[in-house]
Amino acid sequence: MSETSLTKEPEDASHATEDLVVLDSVNKHFGALHVLQDINLTIKRGEVVVVIGPSGSGKSTLCRSINRLETIDAGTITIDGDPLPSEGRELARLRADVGMVFQSFNLFAHKTVLENVMLGPIKVRKEDKAEVETRARALLDRVGVGNQADKYPAQLSGGQQQRVAIARALAMQPKVMLFDEPTSALDPEMINEVLEVMQQLAAEGMTMVVVTHEMGFARSAANRVVFMADGRIVEEADPHQFFDNPRSDRAKDFLSKIL
């Protein structure tokens, strides 16, 4: 494995705040549906937060709001001290600070694996192509698909494609990575290879928000579990307390169904 770190040092340590992502009284509606209700959540630098909860509870909307793929109706979201702007160049820059990995890998089908990883830094960040290629190849090595660089996504397994998607997000050198059910679309035998990459990232100090029902991952990698139901954060706890001794009836009920 190469020695290049997957995480980026803060550009200016004096600017670096301990609180990397802060959601303050965030509210969002889809028509009459109040999908995010008074969400207050602070994610510290280096923290791994696992978000769990029933289908439809607002987990994806929460992630998409942090990345500004969704607008919010009220409240504020700040990334490393900067409020999320609504549009323009500033939005592109801040969005680049937030890497996102989806359930469906969303790779560009007509680009090679290497091209998929290089595209963002070249198109969005206007970085030097040779430097980006070096970084992209190192990242592909790190996620275990370095020998697949010249293939097209369809030639890879689901687990390999999802690892490419992780490398692609990391190529932008984000400050925080959001994972929205990254293993839910995978065949069972491929889940662990993706979780292992995420475990490694967590161990290296990447700040991560992970929506997942993989309780083994949550127990071993999460600093904190956030349980959502009906658009609210119902319970927050460290993983052992949450899984062994949930406080709320909603969480007890949910855990009894999935464990």
Binding positions for ligand ADP, rule: CB under 6 A: 30, 33, 35, 53, 55-61
Paired sense of beta strands 207-211 and 33-44, if any? unpaired
Which residue lies nearer to ligand ADP by CB, 75 or 144?
75
192 class by beta-carbon count within 10 Å (0-12 exposed, 13-18 middle, 19+ buried): middle
Tokens at 173, concatenated: 């050198």
Q: How near is the Cβ of 17 to ligand ADP at its closest, in Å?
A: 27
12 class by beta-carbon count within 10 Å (0-12 exposed, 13-18 middle, 19+ buried): exposed
Which residue lies nearer to ligand ADP by CB, 184 or 192?
184
Closest CA to 70 of 86, 57, 88: 86
Q: How near is the Cβ of 229 to Mg ion at its closest, in Å?
A: 13
Residue 51 contacts by C-beta under 8 Å, 6 or more apart in sequence? 59, 62, 63, 209, 210, 211, 225, 226, 227, 228
Which residue lies nearer to ligand ADP by CB, 61 or 112?
61
Among 35, 52, 60, 237, binds Mg ion (CB under 5 A): 60
Q: How near is the Cβ of 33 to ligand ADP at its closest, in Å?
A: 6
Interacting partner of 35 out of ligand ADP, Mg ion, none (Cβ under 5 to 8 A depending on kind): ligand ADP
Which residue lies nearer to ligand ADP by CB, 59 or 95?
59
Q: Note the residues at the interface with Mg ion (CB under 5 A).
A: 59-60
